[in-house]
Chains A and B, each alone.
Chain A
Amino acid sequence: MKPLDNKRPGRAVDQLESWGRYPRVPARLFRPERMRDFHAGEGPSLARGLGRSYGDAALLTDGDVVLSERLDRCLEFNPETGVLRAEAGLSLDALIRAFVPQGWFVPVTPGTAFCTLGGCVAANVHGKNHHRDGSFRQGVTSLEMLTADGSVRDLTPADGDDFEFAFGGMGLTGMIREVELQLRPITTSMMMVRHSVAGNLPELMAQMDDEARDDQYSVAWVDLLARGERAGRGVLMTGHHAEINELPMRYAAHPETLLTDRPGRARPFPFEAPTWLLSPGNLRLFNSMYHKWQGRKGTFFTPLRTFFHPLDAIRNWNRMYGKPGFVQYQFVVPFESGREAVTEAISRLNAAQASSFLAVLKRMGASDGGPLSFPMPGYTLALDIPLREGVIDLLNNLDALVADHGGRVYLAKDSALRPDTFRRMYPEWERFVIHKRQVDPDGRWQSDLARRLELV
């Protein structure tokens, strides 16, 4: 057989950006169509999925960024056990489309379905069920990885660090080619959801901690703009996959529709928004309305797409923050000091007038994966902050607070953390660096995140 034509042309881009649209850097992009062309370039290289990380985790200034999106084939599926082996570029969106009608769902999903299996492993993503089911790591039984020396390795938990460090490894230990994961059986594509209102932060946390109130999935929306007695008021939203016998008769009457997936057509966000749109006055108004409206819902059924990925209904919603872009700040702090740390963080955000309306609070369960994996037991808060003068300083100030409380920020969403604070947050960082030097002595895999945190 003759050598095949190169199916890996490159494209130089001036402003590669991820979901937060900050920062923007020049890079060479490659988009292989065939698995054999999914490999590093000549110099420093990085694998990239759908760019749904927010900061600079999927960026590499002047390096070779290799997109996995065309490598999205399902390779093996056992309909008895629900174990799926697929290429790392498969998106959760495509997975859900193909497998929900067959009665299977992903074991863990982040708040967007437009991310790849490889990206979910590399960031060891968590979902609304983290407090019960752990991170993406828990569903994964095996990985196929291209290592820095060019060899392809099949990794399982028996391989120890080589396997575990890929989870939260942010693409720095190798390029993930294939992922094998255990899907979750479902009998309907509907969710049974319960909303309840809480008047302030202590009340919200108490509801969240209440085992009787808890469910498989649990997350809370917090109104960061409410002050005084109502500070930290919110709506706790819990749910589980509805079983057939839980559904009202009108659904059961049409059994063929029980497992339909309704992805809907994503509407584009029409323009780069002017900055006044998200002025404090407008946000306050929005939050008040949202608090009333969501709180009133009580118990109801909703399609799983609406429950898990509500933001996916608007394509490019990141343009809402206008040209400068935004950062998403997410941290987790241990339960012990959780209330204190969250309250203090909220008040610092308010003092800086930096809060936004997308703030989410959730309980996290046990840690898993490698040393840079984010989740650990405690409360996690995530919010969007539009980028403007002084935001990076504010974030560094919050970083110190989080580190003082024994917490950490999520690297997949970060673009501001300094190396010294990072080391306090991830005390096992050294194990990661030593491992990285062993598996990648020449520093083949790099990213702007890794450079900023002095991991390479």
Chain B
Amino acid sequence: MTPLALETKGSVLVVGATSPIARAAAAEFARQGYAVILAARDKDELDRIAADLRIRSRVEVTLLPYDADLKGSGTRLAEIALELEPPLIGAVWVVGDLGDQDRAQEDVTHAKAIVRRNFTGVIDVFTPIANAFEARGAGFLIAVGSVAGDRGRAKNYVYGAAKAALHAFMSGMRQRLDRKGVRVRVVKPGFVDTAMTFAMGPLPLLASPDKVGQAVARAATGKKDEIYTPGPWRWIMLIIRHLPERVFKKTNI
């Protein structure tokens, strides 16, 4: 019944698709005519987001279950995504969990869960996809990191450490794959107006999830390897990164 998209450009896999940032990114890919594959745990939300995408952009939307806390889930997700038609051309990792830093300091299981949801989970998903893109000599991989990964802070260092690992993982893949025609990008948002920040009250440089999602989708075709969004965070983080440890440890930044 739904008319097909004008031209099919290939599929883009969005992991963590129930995040409002991911929803905006998927909408932008759909608008550009890509078929989208959405993966996350929350089936009811996935159904709603998929229906909305289909109605607004008339593209093909496929839903797949994914749970970073479940052994084998990431590997299976990559396997299925690589077999779908139209062929996979890009993958976006938006999965993340700020977790509870206080709890993580007491409960190591929680700390490890945070690391899994922000970082180790991506290894299962992106490794086979990266290899397939390398063999094909085309494709893009995008991960949503965070400014929190640029420097470990008392307030959220488990999350920050996981994001830092994610950034390093992507940077290594970039050096390996860029020359093979595969684009590897990291988007580092500052504060985004989502559930994560709502309770904190008004924050400086707060970006809408739509803006960040669009930046994520634009990263696929843009020239920048690492994107700070909104832009000024690049300069803020430049300063914060260069504060000597001897000074930084005494601050409450």
Contacts of A290 in B (CB 8 A): none
Among A32, A36, A77, A79, contact of B44 (Cβ-Cβ < 8 Å): A36
Residue contact B51 to A76, C-beta cutoff 8 Å: yes
- By CB atoms of chain A within 10 A, which of B18, B45, B201 has the most? B45
| CA of A36 to CA of B42, assembled, Å | 10
Residue contact A4 to B42, C-beta cutoff 8 Å: yes
Q: State which of A5-13, A44-52, A408-416 sits at the interface with chain B.
A: A5-13
Residue contact B48 to A73, C-beta cutoff 8 Å: yes
Residue contact A9 to B195, C-beta cutoff 8 Å: yes
Residue contact B201 to A73, C-beta cutoff 8 Å: no
| CA of A76 to CA of B1, assembled, Å | 12
Q: Does A34 contact B (CB under 8 A)?
A: yes
Contacts of A7 in B (CB 8 A): 195
Contacts of B201 in A (CB 8 A): 11
Among A9, A70, A75, A87, contact of B199 (Cβ-Cβ < 8 Å): A9
Main secondary structure of the interface of A (DSSP, over half): loop
| CA of A76 to CA of B48, assembled, Å | 10
Contacts of B20 in A (CB 8 A): 33, 70
Assuming A31-B195, A33-B194, A98-B56, is B51 touching A75 (CB within 8 A)?
Answer: yes
Contacts of B69 in A (CB 8 A): 2
Contacts of A11 in B (CB 8 A): 198-201
Residue contact B51 to A74, C-beta cutoff 8 Å: yes
Chain A nearest CB, measured from B139 CB (Å): 29
Chain A nearest CB, measured from B169 CB (Å): 24
Chain B nearest CB, measured from A7 CB (Å): 5
Residue contact A87 to B48, C-beta cutoff 8 Å: yes
Assuming A33-B20, A33-B195, is B44 touching A73 (CB within 8 A)?
Answer: no
Contacts of B134 in A (CB 8 A): none
Residue contact B52 to A75, C-beta cutoff 8 Å: yes
Among A31, A36, A77, contact of B198 (Cβ-Cβ < 8 Å): A31
Contacts of B44 in A (CB 8 A): 34-36
Contacts of A9 in B (CB 8 A): 195, 198-199
Residue contact B49 to A73, C-beta cutoff 8 Å: yes
Contacts of A2 in B (CB 8 A): 41, 67, 69
Chain B nearest CB, measured from A411 CB (Å): 29
Q: Does A1 contact B (CB under 8 A)?
A: yes
Chain A nearest CB, measured from B146 CB (Å): 17
Contacts of A75 in B (CB 8 A): 48, 51-52, 55
Contacts of B55 in A (CB 8 A): 74-77, 98
Contacts of A73 in B (CB 8 A): 48-49, 51-52
- Chain B 87-123 interface mask (CB, 8 Å, partner A; 1/0): 0000000000100000000000000000000000000
User: How many residues of B are in contact with the other chain, CB < 8 A?
Assistant: 22
- Chain B 1-13 interface mask (CB, 8 Å, partner A; 1/0): 1000000000000
Closest A residue by C-beta to B56: A98
| CA of A73 to CA of B46, assembled, Å | 11
- Chain B 192-234 interface mask (CB, 8 Å, partner A; 1/0): 0011001111000000000000000000000000000000000
Residue contact B45 to A35, C-beta cutoff 8 Å: yes
Closest B residue by C-beta to A2: B69
| CA of A35 to CA of B97, assembled, Å | 19
Closest A residue by C-beta to B193: A31
Residue contact A34 to B45, C-beta cutoff 8 Å: yes
Contacts of B48 in A (CB 8 A): 35, 73, 75, 87
Among B18, B52, B97, B198, contact of A74 (Cβ-Cβ < 8 Å): B52
| CA of A11 to CA of B201, assembled, Å | 6
Contacts of A79 in B (CB 8 A): 1
- Chain B 22-64 interface mask (CB, 8 Å, partner A; 1/0): 0000000000000000000110110011011001100000000
Chain B nearest CB, measured from A237 CB (Å): 32
- Chain A 1-37 interface mask (CB, 8 Å, partner B; 1/0): 1101101111100000000000000000001111110
Chain B nearest CB, measured from A27 CB (Å): 14
Assuming A9-B199, A11-B198, is B52 touching A34 (CB within 8 A)?
Answer: no
Chain A nearest CB, measured from B239 CB (Å): 29
Closest B residue by C-beta to A72: B52
| CA of A34 to CA of B194, assembled, Å | 11
Chain A nearest CB, measured from B227 CB (Å): 23
Closest A residue by C-beta to B201: A11
Contacts of A1 in B (CB 8 A): 41, 67
Contacts of A98 in B (CB 8 A): 55-56
Closest A residue by C-beta to B202: A11
Among B42, B67, B97, B200, contact of A34 (Cβ-Cβ < 8 Å): B42
| CA of A11 to CA of B197, assembled, Å | 10
Contacts of B49 in A (CB 8 A): 73
Contacts of A35 in B (CB 8 A): 44-45, 48
| CA of A210 to CA of B44, assembled, Å | 53
Contacts of A87 in B (CB 8 A): 48
Among A31, A33, A74, contact of B56 (Cβ-Cβ < 8 Å): A74
Chain A nearest CB, measured from B158 CB (Å): 15
| CA of A87 to CA of B49, assembled, Å | 11
Chain A nearest CB, measured from B51 CB (Å): 5
| CA of A438 to CA of B196, assembled, Å | 38
Which residues of A274-317 have CB atoms within 8 Å of chain B's CB atoms? Answer: none
Assuming A4-B41, A73-B51, A75-B48, is B56 touching A34 (CB within 8 A)?
Answer: no
Closest B residue by C-beta to A1: B41
Closest B residue by C-beta to A85: B51
List of 10 A-B pairs having minimum Cβ-Cβ separation, nearest first: A9-B199, A73-B52, A74-B55, A77-B55, A7-B195, A73-B48, A75-B51, A74-B52, A33-B195, A34-B45
A-B contact pairs, 19 of them (CB 8 A): A1-B41, A2-B67, A2-B69, A5-B97, A9-B198, A11-B198, A11-B201, A33-B195, A34-B44, A34-B45, A35-B45, A73-B48, A73-B49, A74-B52, A74-B55, A74-B56, A75-B52, A75-B55, A76-B55
Interface residues of A (CB under 8 A from B): 1-2, 4-5, 7-11, 31-36, 70, 73-77, 79, 87, 98
| Sample of 11 more A-B contacts, CB < 8 Å, known A5-B97, A75-B51, A79-B1 | A1-B41, A1-B67, A9-B195, A11-B198, A11-B200, A31-B195, A73-B48, A73-B51, A74-B55, A75-B52, A77-B55
